[in-house]
Structure 1
Amino acid sequence: MPIVSLTTDYGWKDPDAAAIRAGLYSEMLRHQVASPMVDVSHDVSPRNHQEAAYILGGAYKAFPKGSVHLMLIDCRPMVNHPPIAAMIDGHYFLTQDHGGLSLLFPGRQPDELVTIDMRNRLDLTDPGDIMTAAAAHVIAGGTISTLGPPRPQWNQLQSTHPEILDRNHAIVHVQYVDHFGQVVTNARETWLKEWQQGRTLKVLARGMVIDRFIDNLGEKMDPGSRYMRINDMGFLELGISWPGQHGVNTASNLFGLGLQDPVELQLR
């Protein structure tokens, strides 16, 4: 059974997340279909497409093939960023074409891509409403090819990449801070191994040294110990064992790191 997922920057305080869910249920009733709905996150930072791509990228593969993923970031009418529907990896992705899918699938192209055209539904003007109607269409067994004309490619957004300064030094950047305040960099395991070539890695985060690498979070550590590891998504993560709550005594707080901040890597 396909599932509908929602990833937005709407937050939980305002009514938008509830309204989009209710609208989707209404559209499914219109088609006389039903599908489970899963909130991936509504806490994406406003207009942060990189963060949305990281969060959805960590979740969508757990869904069954044929699932429909709505990524509603900076969702407002824009001529140059129309709603699109894409099919890739056996999943459907509906979003405005800000370029977020190029961050979710860097260097890849979809199996199918269309611009969503719902001019037959005069009651739909908001991009979010258009995409919920399109999602219900897919859940009901409709193809995305009937949603609108083919689109040659999605818009591109440029993300930061690790910068090698010399043989022993590189700069990476923070791309995500998780619920526990652990810091995820944009250094992929594959890139790191190629650059590292078996040498010992040390991280400098605003003058604070992190030189303990762990294989998993089950390793015995004293509370407050600094560590680095490759997380479940294949990125270099900097953390504190037994972090505090509400942003206090977390890696982000203690290292003084936020989104897009640089982090120095050293090899020896």
Structure 2
Amino acid sequence: MPLVTLTSDYGWNDPDTAVVRGRVYGEMLRSQIGAPLVDISHDVPPRDHLEAGYVLRCAYPHFPKGSVHIILVDSLDLQHAAPMAMELDGHFFLGLNHGGLSLIRPDLKPRQCVTLDLKNRLELTDVESLLAAAAAHLLNRGALSVLGPALAEPASMHPPHPEIKNAQTAIVHVQFIDHYGQLVTNATQEWLKAWLGEKSFVALARGRRVTKHVHSSTEMQDAGELYTRINRYGYLELGVCKPGAHGINTAASLLGMAVRDPIELQRK
């Protein structure tokens, strides 16, 4: 059964997240439909499209086809970015046309995109209400095309890609820091295999050499030891064994690294 998900940079302390949930449920009642409403994350840093794209890219495939994903990241500037909807990989994504949605699956072209223009709902003047109404329409098996005019060239963003410097060296970038402070890079397992061939590698981050590459948690024994691995979503991750709580003694804190920072890989 299709459902609705919410992803935002609103945080959990303010009432904004609850307001969005209430508006979505209100539109469901208005349309006499019901569907689960799932929070993917509201901890996206303010206006951080790169992190939002990673979170959604990893999460959305685990929801039923036909689900509607509402993204409210950097969503306050309606003057410069109109609300939009797109169909991609059998799912619907609703947000603003500022380029953030292009980071969900940069490798796939959307099947259809429209600019939201709900002429029969002129009372809807804010982005949250517009997206909630569009979500209810799509859940009710309504056509995407009736939500507004076709959008041939939606705005796009261009995140950093792994860069091969020479035969022995490549640069990757941190695209996400998880709850445990592990550094998730933009290097996929497939890219790494294509670059390395049969060779192994070491990672250099803030002057530290990370030589241990593990394949399962059973290989991580010594607390505080740095390692690399491929995470469950297929991305190269630099972490520390048994990190502390509240951001203490994590890979991010020990190395002083943030999203978009570079990590050098050297073939051995």
Distance 1:197 1:103 in 2: 28
Match of 1:69 in 2: 69
Identity %: 49
| Greater alpha carbon shift after TM alignment, 101-110 vs 42-51 | 101-110
Compute the displacement of 1:224 (Å).
Answer: 1.7
Compute the displacement of 1:183 (Å).
Answer: 0.4
Distance 2:197 2:211 in 1: 17
Give CA deviations for 1:3-45 in whole Å, capped at 9, x if unaligned: 1000000001111101000111111111111110110000001
Match of 1:251 in 2: 251
Give CA deviations for 1:193-229 in whole Å, capped at 9, x if unaligned: 1111222200011111111111122334222221101
Retained in 2: the 8 A contact 1:172–1:265?
yes
Distance 1:205 1:100 in 2: 28
Match of 2:238 in 1: 238
- Output the TM-score relative to the length of structure 2: 0.96
Distance 1:125 1:183 in 2: 39
1:98 and 2:113 aligned: no
Retained in 2: the 8 A contact 1:11–1:42?
yes
| Greater alpha carbon shift after TM alignment, 45-54 vs 122-131 | 122-131
Match of 1:144 in 2: 144
Give CA deviations for 1:134-167 in whole Å, capped at 9, x if unaligned: 0011112211111111111321101001122211
1:189 and 2:195 aligned: no
Distance 1:218 1:88 in 2: 37
Structure 1 unmatched runs, 5+? none
SS for the counterpart of 1:199 is coil
Runs (4+) of structure 1 exceeding 3 A deviation are none
The aligned amino acid for 2:263 is V
Give CA deviations for 1:83-129 in whole Å, capped at 9, x if unaligned: 11111111111111111222111132111211110232122111121
Retained in 2: the 8 A contact 1:85–1:114?
yes
The aligned amino acid for 1:35 is A
Distance 1:37 1:196 in 2: 42
Structure 2 unmatched runs, 5+? none
Match of 2:156 in 1: 156
Match of 1:59 in 2: 59
Match of 2:86 in 1: 86
| Greater alpha carbon shift after TM alignment, 221-230 vs 11-20 | 221-230
SS for the counterpart of 1:59 is helix
Retained in 1: the 8 A contact 2:8–2:73?
yes
